[in-house]
Structure 1
Amino acid sequence: MKNIYAIGVGLIGGSLAIDIKKNDPNVIIHGISRKDATLEEALALKLIDKKASLEDIKNADLVIISIPVDATVKLLPTVLDLVSDTGLVVDAGSTKVDICKVVENHPKRRNFLAMHPIAGTEHSGPSAAIGGLFVGKTNIVCEVEKTTFKLQEKALKLFADIGMRIRYMNPEAHDKHIAYVSHLSHISSFMLGKTVIDKERNERDIFDMAGSGFASTVRLAKSSPEMWTPIFKQNKTNVIEILEAYINNLIHFKELMEQDDFEAIFNEMKNTNYIKDILKGIS
């Protein structure tokens, strides 16, 4: 795959570009964005080799779409219209059901591979791109059987070569599971940040007392609302279901506090410590 077109050159698209280029210096990375300033920044940071437009996609061996998921749903059919019969389109969206559904009957469905690299930071834009972001990370691939074998084989090798583990899942299972391990975490962080900001209006010293525990817990609240609002909208049903379970746990914890049942609180926390074993090795 020599000519790679990145639609979106922020954290995910830019980091993929860095690692792909490092692994194969002969690859030419073409950047596509609604904003020319974004492409200029990506050029200056050497994330891309050239600026491009949608019309140039006919020359692509691989197109990587890493833009907000609502924009992906709107743009993906057009990109598939433009790609050649030997070109492949992949997306990096954090939801998969709506994205897969919008192209399920597209005549070039075989030229699309739905994926979600589970990696990222709370930062956004071209300056957030970093090398090695995907080393050891999982890349969820959905409906792989609907993609032409030769094209999927090339893409999966490319992503494996930059250090990603590949796992296969159907879109519905992906969206449900990712709501637990990613979407709920972001909502919790945003709402913790909101709670503290609301309180801080009356207690100016609160941030002087904030330690590393608060900083790490609220880190995700720095994430882009432009990216996360469409994710919550597309995965609304799963997110509401999981929020209900989470809220019930918070209410239960509050009730134990009110009852001075600190033995039960100890046991709740002790049992939850098991998560250390589950997450062992994840950075």
Structure 2
Amino acid sequence: MNNSSKEAKTVEGLTVCIVGVGLISGSFALALRDKGLAKHIIGVSRTEKSANRAIELGIIDEALPLLEAIKKSDFIYVAIPVDTTIPIMQTIMDTITEQQFVADAGSTKLALCEALQNHPMRHRFVATHPMWGTEYSGPEAAVRDAFKGRACVICEKEKSDKDIVDAIETIYKTLGMNIIYMDAAAHDMHAAYVSHISHITSFALANTVLEKEKEDDAIFALAGGGFESTVRLAKSSASMWAPIFMQNRDNVLDVLNEHITQLRKFKSALEKENLEFLEELMHNANKINRILK
């Protein structure tokens, strides 16, 4: 339940726990430090190697087991594969107090929001998705000023206490992000169309080229900017993206079916040597210029 009586949460000098020390969480930690929002950052990682590397890179100040990290933190930020987020988040919510607050950065929102909807500490959690990423992973992938000018979706705002919604909004806005509000189901549908299908297409195109072009040297020598920009997402982590596709399965299948329909139209135009239809398909696609400059 949204509680408007709580005092505004201070968002400077926080002790922050980041669960996951990879691309998103690492970039988030660097931004918090650069903006003076965090005085101490604790990392929780599956592997000692990643934790040590995050310390070496100045992303975190120390690494601790989850429960120890939670108890020392004001703010817990979870950015791990979505299939492991729900059980980890349930542990976090079982552990936190009314003085702490939690946010996640997952690319799917509905499954997590449904899993936590009846938790007695649900009001201390804000479901978010900063719409930024690259094809790289691990602590080394973290970059500064990653979120500036990007959108951040906040879901089910009304189920979180006002003081922590205000705090999360302030943090993301300080990082240069634009806030968008959606319900969790709408978020997952739109994410399937603007993000998830791009990754599936890239994985499929990479597999197509690898299957048909047997000479690695030829791919390297002839691949131009268009191919590189289209297929670069195929370098993304399978352990991160496979759970996203599965958790958002219905929406991804819907957009994938439409994508296949569009590919068949191009195939038909070529098979029938229908230049007019082929140009019509491309002219229609050019309308994206109205949205993406």
- Matched residues in 2 for 1:77 and 1:205: separation? 49
Counterpart check, 1:70 vs 2:91:
no
Contact 1:95 1:234 in 2 (8 A): yes
- Matched residues in 2 for 1:159 and 1:197: separation? 40
Secondary structure at the residue paired with 2:41?
Answer: strand
Give the number of equivalent residue pairs: 280
1:244 to 254, 257, 262: 257
Aligned AA for 1:103?
A: L
Counterpart check, 1:182 vs 2:195:
yes
**1:40-79 equivalent positions in 2, closer than 5 A:** 40-56=52-68, 57-79=70-92
Instruction: Give the alignment's TM-score, normalised by structure 1.
Output: 0.96
- Matched residues in 2 for 1:135 and 1:91: separation? 18
Q: 1:143 to 1:210 in 2, by over 3 A?
A: same
Secondary structure at the residue paired with 2:153?
Answer: strand
Contact 1:31 1:52 in 2 (8 A): yes
Q: Which residue number in structure 2 is paired with residue 257 of structure 1?
A: 270
Calculate percent identity across the aligned residue pairs. 43
Secondary structure at the residue paired with 1:254?
Answer: helix
Aligned AA for 1:274?
A: K
Q: 1:7 to 1:267 in 2, by over 3 A?
A: same
- Matched residues in 2 for 1:75 and 1:241: separation? 29
Q: Which residue number in structure 2 is paired with residue 20 of structure 1?
A: 32
Superposed CA RMSD: 1.3
- Matched residues in 2 for 1:201 and 1:234: separation? 34
Unaligned runs of at least 5 residues, structure 2: 1-10
- Matched residues in 1 for 2:37 and 2:89: separation? 28
Larger mean Cα displacement after TM superposition, 200-209 or 180-189: 200-209
User: What is the CA-CA distance between 1:200 and the residue it aligns to?
Assistant: 1.8
User: What is the CA-CA distance between 1:205 and the residue it aligns to?
Assistant: 2.7
User: What is the CA-CA distance between 1:81 and the residue it aligns to?
Assistant: 1.0
User: What is the CA-CA distance between 1:26 and the residue it aligns to?
Assistant: 5.3
- Matched residues in 1 for 2:140 and 2:130: separation? 19
Contact 1:59 1:83 in 2 (8 A): no
Residue-by-residue CA offset, 1:244-276 (whole Å, 9 max, x unaligned)? 111011111111111111112112111211212
Residue-by-residue CA offset, 1:80-135 (whole Å, 9 max, x unaligned)? 11112111110000000111111110010001100000001000000000001100
1:38 to 50, 57, 76: 50
Secondary structure at the residue paired with 1:140?
Answer: strand
- Matched residues in 1 for 2:38 and 2:151: separation? 26
User: What is the CA-CA distance between 1:159 and the residue it aligns to?
Assistant: 1.1
- Matched residues in 1 for 2:127 and 2:87: separation? 15
Counterpart check, 1:102 vs 2:115:
yes
